[in-house]
Amino acid sequence: MALLEVQDLVTEFPTRAGVVRAVNGVTFSVDEGEILAVVGESGSGKSVTALSIMGLLQDPGHIAHGSITFDGRELSALSDREMEEVRGNQIGMIFQEPMTSLNPVYRVGDQIVEAILTHEKIGKKEAWERAVEMLRVVGIPSPEERAHDFPHQMSGGMRQRVMIAMALVCRPKLLIADEPTTALDVTIQAQILDLIYRLRDAYHMAVLLITHDLGVVSEVADRAVVMYCGRTVEEAPVAELFMHPHHPYTTGLLQSIPRLEDDSSERLYAIEGTVPDPLEVGEGCPFANRCAYAADRCRSELPALSPVPGEGHRSIRCFYPLEVH
């Protein structure tokens, strides 16, 4: 059994304009110790998927259908108190902008201590020592001193390291990282990804890595789920996804990754059009209006997410997959 199983998840936001199905039938699983990337353009439903898993949807957002099991327990059936226990203790999380999750008026060491004491009955001094040790583990130099810093005294990269320290201090089995490097410059981005990769090995923890950037996926992930307009459209081991993408949307994403050898005078390829508004998707494949291969059937009928013939470990939601023999 996988550590996390998300099955046919539907998450809705009732709005004045109608019910927004931000997530519309997402299925994937994460194994123990695995790094699974969830990738897709902005507006695909990645963050709402993460918030649904963590029980952090803001009213009136709610899970309308589907199941989320973690370590054999159905998360959507847990009470708020039980869910609070799961968060932080068993599932750690980090976000794009650490400044919004760190409290500006408390020293970073105290914030990590607070995270420890929420879940464990240990002394303040012991908790402080553990906080400092964790800051060392995530690569903060002179952690004894930096633990006394306020968040604004640190760089963006250092703050993200603090967030990681805080997320991991209770040794969760799963880390959910929503665009953890998007706000950082490229060099720091690579360092943070490398850190996540090393911590996965050190703690044998699973990581759900959410990103709009397939370049990030190729660096660290074992497997990837490609999301489009609230749905899973392709799932595959990363190496295979890069070598032989089957969904036309995945191909488009791959072509949009900047490459070093690119002539800078050439404009970067981008898939034409944008992710449709969830209120405006029709009955067919949501990618049909941007797809070069779309046929009539694609506009009227939604393909099911199915195993790729001859490649049972991969799945795809497309009537006319590429490079499938």
Ligand X SMILES: Nc1ncnc2c1ncn2[C@@H]1O[C@H](COP(=O)(O)OP(=O)(O)O)[C@@H](O)[C@H]1O
Tell the smallest beta-carbon distance from residue 96 to Mg ion (Å).
Answer: 8
48 sits near ligand X (criterion: CB under 6 A)? yes
Output 23 or 169, the one with its CB closest to Mg ion: 23
End-to-end CA distance of the chain: 30
Neighbours of 249 (CB within 10 A): 26
Task: Give the pair of three-digit tokens for residue 35.
Answer: 């790094």
Output 47 or 160, the one with its CB closest to ligand X: 47
Name which position in 42, 153, 300, 306 contacts ligand X (CB under 6 A). Answer: 42
Q: How many CA atoms lie within 13 Å of 16's alpha carbon, on the beta-carbon side?
A: 0
Tell the smallest beta-carbon distance from residue 270 to Mg ion (Å).
Answer: 18
- 162-121-31-54 Cα dihedral, nearest 10 degrees: -70
- CA gap 131, 122 in Å, rounded: 12
Output 89 or 101, the one with its CB closest to ligand X: 101
Q: How many CA atoms lie within 13 Å of 263's alpha carbon, on the beta-carbon side?
A: 2
DSSP 227: E
Burial class for 84, CB neighbours closer than 10 Å (0-12, 13-18, 19+)? middle
20 sits near ligand X (criterion: CB under 6 A)? yes
46 sits near ligand X (criterion: CB under 6 A)? yes
62-70: strand order across its sheet: 18-30, 4-15, 62-70, 73-74
278 sits near ligand X (criterion: CB under 6 A)? yes
Query: Which of Mg ion, ligand X, none lies near 43, with the C-beta cut-off 5 to 8 A by kind?
Result: ligand X
Name which position in 6, 9, 13, 271 contacts ligand X (CB under 6 A). Answer: 13
Output 49 or 111, the one with its CB closest to ligand X: 49
Interface of this chain with Mg ion, residues 33 to 92, rule: CB under 5 A: 46-47
Query: Which of ligand X, Mg ion, none lies near 15, with the C-beta cut-off 5 to 8 A by kind?
Result: ligand X
Phi, psi of 288 (to 5 degrees): -50, -40
Question: Which positions touch Mg ion (CB under 5 A)?
Answer: 46-47
Question: Which positions touch ligand X (CB under 6 A)?
Answer: 13, 15, 20, 22, 40, 42-48, 58, 61, 278
